[in-house]
Structure 1
Amino acid sequence: MKTPPKDAYSLILEAIDTGLYKPGDRLVESELAERFGVSRTPIREALQRLETQSLLARDGRSLIVASLDHNQLAELYVVRSELEALAARLAARHATEEEVRVLTDMVEADRAHLGDPGALSRANRRFHKQIHLASHNRFLVQQLDLVHRSMALLATTSLAARGRDEVALAEHGAIVDAIRDRDEGRAGEMLRKHISQAFVTRLKLDSETAATE
C-alpha cells in the first residue's frame, strides 16, 4: 500500500519542524513551490493557514517563520507540562503491554543518538508522541499536537546543552518505569519534572546565546 503524498501544508510544517526553515527565515511562494514540486496555489493556501496558526508572521509584505519571546515561551511550557503530565497519567492507566514495550525499546534505542542533538531531538519527539498515543484520548492527542507544532518555532533543542542528553534519557526511563508499574501519580510527576528541567535548560541556553550576541 503506497503512502499518500504529503500536502503543501504538511511539507512546509515538516520543513519548519526539522529546522530547514528557522525562526526569522523568509518564505517565498515561488521558492517553496519549486522545492516541493507543487503549484503556487496550494503553497499560498498553506502559508495562509500557517499564518492563522501563528507559525508564520508578517515582516512588511513578507511572511517569515515566527519566533517566541520569553513570555510566550513560558506560557507554552506551562501548557505543555500540564498536558504531557496528563498524557503520562492516562498512559499509565490505559497503555497496552505492547505500547509499554515500544516505549521501553525507544529508550534503549535512543542511547545510540547520544552526542547527536539533532537525531536525539527527533527521537525525543517520537518518544513523547508515543506517550500521547498510549493515553488513548484523541482530544488530548490533538491538543498536544498543537503544542508540539508551536515547539517547532524554537531554533535550538535543549538536548544540545552539555550533559542534558544523558539526563533526559534517564528521565525517559523513569517515566516508562512508572507507566509500566501503572503508577499514574508518579508517571505524571516524572513527566512534569522532565518538562520543567527541559525548560530550565532552554532558558540557560538562551541566556548564554544572548550574552554572546
Structure 2
Amino acid sequence: MSQRHSQKDAYHLILEAIDVGVYKPGDRLVESDLAERFGVSRTPIREALQRLETQSLLERDGRSLIVASLDHNQMSELYQVRRELEGLAARLAARHATEEEIKVLRDMVIADDALVGDPQALSRANRRFHVQIHLASHNRYLVQQLDLVHRTMALMATTSLAVQGRGEIAQSEHNGIVDAIEARDEDAAEAALKDHISIAFMTRLKQDADIRERS
C-alpha cells in the first residue's frame, strides 16, 4: 500500500471513528494508539491528524490533540449554515432528482419508521437520508460543503433524535420533504427542509438546557 493511500485510509478511518462515537468530544488522540488500532504506520496517522486539525475537527490541548467540541455559539453558527445549505439542496433536488432517486428517498422514509425506538440507529439513518438529498441536488460543490457540515455535526455528543417523541416527528418531516420533492415544488421543498433543521436545532437547545440543569 502506498503512503498516499495509507494517508487517505488513515484519515477516513479516524473520521469514521469520530462520526460513530468511538472517539467523543474531549477524547485525546495518540498517534501510536491510532496506528496500532487501525494497522497503519504512524506517518499517515500524523498526516491525517494534521488534516483533521486543519478542518477544526481536532483541537490542541497543550501538546495533545483532542476531538473538538462545540460551544453554544459554534453550534448556532453550524445550524444556521446547515439550514441554508440543506434548504438549497432540497430546492435543487426538487428540480433535478431522477424518479429513481425520489423512489429511494421514499423507501428510506418507510424503512426508517422501524428505527424510531432506537435513537442511534435512527441518527445513522437520518444521516443517510440527508446525504441522499444532497446527492439528488446534482451539485458537486454543494455536496462537498454539506459533507463538511455533517462531519462537524459528529462533534455533538448527543443526538436530538434521542428526545422523547422527536423520532416520530422527524420522520413525519422527512415524509413532507419527500412529498415536496416528488411534486417538483422547489419552494415547498426548501421551506420544509429549512423548517426541519430549525426544529432539530430548537430540540437540541432544549436538550442541552435539560443536561445543564441535571449536571
Category of TM-score, reference length = shorter chain: over 0.9
Residue 161 of structure 2 is aligned to residue 142 of structure 1: no
Which residue of structure 2 aligns with residue 85 of structure 1?
Answer: 87
Which residue of structure 1 aligns with residue 171 of structure 2?
Answer: 169
- SS of the residue 1:58 aligns to: strand
Aligned pairs for 1:1-150 (under 5 A) are 7-150=9-152
Provide, for residues 148-182 of structure 1, a one-character-per-residue CA deviation record: whole Å limited to 9, x for no partner.
Answer: 11111111110000000000000000000000000
Provide, for residues 5-57 of structure 1, a one-character-per-residue CA deviation record: whole Å limited to 9, x for no partner.
Answer: 96000000000011110000000111111111111111111001111111001
Give the letter aligned to residue 130 of structure 1. Q
Give the letter aligned to residue 131 of structure 1. I
d(CA) in 2 for partners of 1:211 and 1:62? 31
TM-score w.r.t. length of structure 2? 0.96
- SS of the residue 1:182 aligns to: coil
TM-score w.r.t. length of structure 1? 0.97
More divergent stretch after superposition (163-172 vs 28-37): 28-37
Aligned residues: 210
Shift of 1:111: 1.0
Consecutive unaligned residues in structure 1, runs of 5 or more: none
d(CA) in 2 for partners of 1:19 and 1:76? 19
d(CA) in 2 for partners of 1:40 and 1:68? 28
- SS of the residue 2:65 aligns to: strand
Provide, for residues 89-110 of structure 1, a one-character-per-residue CA deviation record: whole Å limited to 9, x for no partner.
Answer: 0000000000000000000000
Which residue of structure 2 aligns with residue 211 of structure 1?
Answer: 213
Consecutive unaligned residues in structure 2, runs of 5 or more: none
